[in-house]
Structure formats: C-alpha cells, structure tokens
A and B are shown apart, each in its own frame.
Chain A
Amino acid sequence: MALSSQDVLAGLAELVNDETGIAADAVQMEKSFTDDLDIDSISMMTIVVNAEDKFGVKIPDEKVKDLITVADAVNFITENQA
C-alpha cells in the first residue's frame, strides 16, 4: 500500500537524521535542505540513494537539483513510489 505524505516525511526525517545528525522533528515540509538544514550536496545524494532504497522509488540525478525543500522530496516520493 502506498505511503501517505506524513509517512514519507517521517521516513525521510529518519534518513536525514542518520546522515547528518539533524533532529528528525526539525525536518519539516517547508524547510530548505540547503538554506535551512545546511545539508551539502554530498550528504543530499546519500539521503537520495537511501530514500530510493527505503521507498522503492527512482530519483534521477537531474531531479535531485529540483528538490529544494523537504516538501519537494516528500511530494516526489509520494507520487512516484512503487
């Protein structure tokens, strides 16, 4: 069964926490990965690859740069999950 946006947000927050140590509850929909959460490009790619595994979704390289906010990522995953 497809996960809801809230489920995806919770799962993504865990991945962000694993990679960067940022508290999961700080990972909120309106936050920018770069400007608010200070996640660099290499950590972002690690989170993307782990998200692909976790949610069964393919996130192409050219799409990664469009994932500006947490909501961008949550929406993409929710709409494209297997």
Chain B
Amino acid sequence: MKQLKQTEQIKFSRIYALGAARGDLAVTNDEIAGPIDSSDEWIRQRTGIITRKRASADRSLMDMAIEASNEAIGKAGIDASEIGAVILATISFPYQTPSGASLLAESVGAHGAAAYDISAACAGYCYGIAQADSLVRSGVAKYVLVVGGEKLSDFVEPTDRSISFLLGDGAGAAIVGPSDHPGISKTVWGSDGSNWDKVGMTGSLIDFRDGKTSWPTLVQEGQSVFRWAVWEMAKVAKEALAAAGLEPEDLSALVTHQANTRIIDELAKQLNIPESVVVARDIVDTGNTSAASIPLAMHRLLAEGQVKSGGYALEIGFGAGLAYAAQVVELP
C-alpha cells in the first residue's frame, strides 16, 4: 500500500506587511448627536471618539479592501500570484453569497487563490491571522492575504444610542507568509454563544422581508459587553501573552479591537501594561470599524513611527458571537 503524502511543515510564519484604507468622510460628533439627544462632550467622555471615518455612497467595502490589499501586497514585495488564500473578515459585505473574498482575490491579482469570508465580527481579523498562520505553516498556502473590511455605516440607525454612533468604515490588510523565526504566537480564541444576543442585529433579513422589522441595524447591550470586554478579555490576553512566553514589558504595543477608549484604557489597566508600551487609540478619529479596527490601528502606529518593525504587539479582537481571539505578532 502506498503511503499517503502530506505537506511538509513550515516552522514559522510572520506578517510581512500591512495596508490600510478608511472611509473618505470625517463625521463629527455634532453631526450625529442630534438624533440620540446627545452632545459632542457626552460622546467624547463615554467613548473617546472625536470623529469617525465613514465612506460615501460611491466608496464600497470592496473599494477599501482592494486599496488596503494593494498596499500590503506592494509593501510585502511579493507577487500577488503567489497568494494562495484570501480571507475577508467582515460582517457588512452586502451579499450573502458569493463571498467578497473571491472578488477581492480577483481584483488584486491573486487569480485562482482559495478565497472565503469569515464572520467573527470584531474578532474576525485575529481569527483570520490564526487561520493564515496555520495555512502557511501547514504548507497549504505560501502567502495568505487577510483583510478585515467593513462598511458599517450601511447598518447604523441614527437614533440608536447603543452602538451606531461609534461606528466607522475601513479596511485593513495583512500579508502572512513563511518566516525563519517565530512571528505569530499561538492564538487563544473562542466564543460564548450563551451571550449570542449581546451584540448583533435588530432583526434578520427574513424578518425584514416579511415586514416584521425595519432595515436590520447593529445593536448591543453596552453595559454587559463592557464587563465581558474588559474582565473576561483580560484573562484571554494574559493567556495569549503566556502562550507567547512574554511579559507585558516585552511588548512594543497593545492593539485591542477599537471598541471604545474606556474599554481600551481599562483593559490596559487590568493587564498592567507599562508606560513603555504604546496603546493603540486609532478609535479617536476612525471610530469602531469592527473587523478592520486592529489592522488599521497597527498600520497607523507603524506609519506614525510610534512603534518599530520587529517589536511585538499583542492584538486582541472581541465582539459579536460573542467571539474573541488574541495573539502576539512581530510588527512588520
């Protein structure tokens, strides 16, 4: 009997480069405060957001995903034809099927690459990095394009006080490939379906079709989510750091999902993050962009020279599901 052939394991992987694209409109708190009977000061105090980037009607999720991907591919110095898989993490691509990833693959020159979308909301990008790490190290794909992309402004309700006013649009892209040294630590991930309804939509598309609900928009139970996002995610982040064999002082950056600065600050406090570690706060003028928020925030830290290539960043995504994932990555 012939012996089955299996791929040769590649020992390590890393992120080669990042790309970023944001909505073209800077929407101020004053512009959205009226329908929620609020004010610029109230929104700043409770969320830390000053403006959020939203995309105009003619700038689609795919436009932003392509822009971010092309930047990442160019900076990685690879040929797009070498990309073996394209993963798009999103909750706002407006088609149930086909996937956005297959169109993205074709659009960026990754012709024929395996392509699929994943739905893990604000944890989606970190889920994608976990999968890319595995695909590269198992030899299934040489390079993987991971994109977190959202046009959440299509799913906001101006009068909603729970989440809509936080949300922005953008896409962040990463190229993951083989490495001669460790560049992505073991992912700590999971979900808590017992809290399935804590972040989600106001109704299903079937309910909308049947006239039982208006256009489904995003909604959350903010107080419960805050408790989970800080105290439960602190445990996950500590576990991810331990799996990476690092202490907080070994990090260059903490890049959490950009949900709310109060969550970011309290999470950093619970993790005893020292002052030497840069804490990403891209949310201040980008808003909460769900799956896009971590790569956008990390891209910005690098672009502004706040961190250097080669340093370590703890990234942790958490949100609807409830789903979460954390890993330490070497900054590209």
Contacts and interface: CB of A to CB of B under 8 A. Distances in A.
B227 A49 contact: yes
Interface string B219-240: 0011110110011000000000
B262 interface: yes
A44 B46 CA distance: 12
A44 B231 contact: no
A46 interface: yes
Nearest to B221: A61
Nearest to B263: A42
Contacts of B227: 45, 48-49, 61
Contacts of B223: 41-42, 44-45, 61, 64-65
Interface in B19-46: 45-46
Contact of A42 (B46, B221, B231): B46
A30 interface: no
Contacts of A44: 223
A42 B226 CA distance: 7
A40 interface: yes
A8 B224 CA distance: 24
Secondary structure dominating the interface of B? helix
Interface in B33-67: 45-46
A61 B224 contact: yes
Contacts of A65: 223
B46 A45 contact: no
Nearest to A59: B227
A40 B223 CA distance: 10
Given A42-B46, A42-B223, A49 B262 contact: no
A41 B222 contact: yes
Interface in A37-59: 40-42, 44-46, 48-49
B266 interface: yes
Interface in B289-330: none
A45 B225 CA distance: 10
B41 to A, nearest CB: 12
Contacts of A40: 45-46
Nearest to B45: A40
Contacts of A41: 222-223, 226
Nearest to A40: B46
Contacts of B260: 42
Interface in B206-226: 221-224, 226
A62 to B, nearest CB: 9
Interface in B144-200: none
Residue among A41, A45, A65 facing the most chain B CB atoms (10 A cut-off): A45
A42 B224 contact: no
A40 B224 CA distance: 13
A46 B46 contact: no
Query: B222, B227, B262, B266: which has the most chain A beta carbons within 10 Å?
Result: B227
Contacts of A61: 221, 223-224, 227
A3 B171 CA distance: 53
* Most B C-beta atoms less than 10 A away, residue of A40, A42, A46: A42
A4 to B, nearest CB: 28
12 contacts: A41-B226, A42-B222, A42-B223, A42-B262, A45-B223, A45-B226, A46-B266, A48-B227, A49-B227, A49-B231, A61-B221, A61-B223
In the A-B complex, list the 4 residue pairs whose CB atoms are closest, starting with the nearest.
Answer: A61-B224, A41-B223, A42-B262, A45-B227
Given A49-B231, A61-B221, 7 more contacts: A42-B226, A48-B227, A49-B227, A49-B230, A61-B223, A64-B223, A65-B223
Interface of B: 45-46, 221-224, 226-227, 230-231, 260, 262, 266
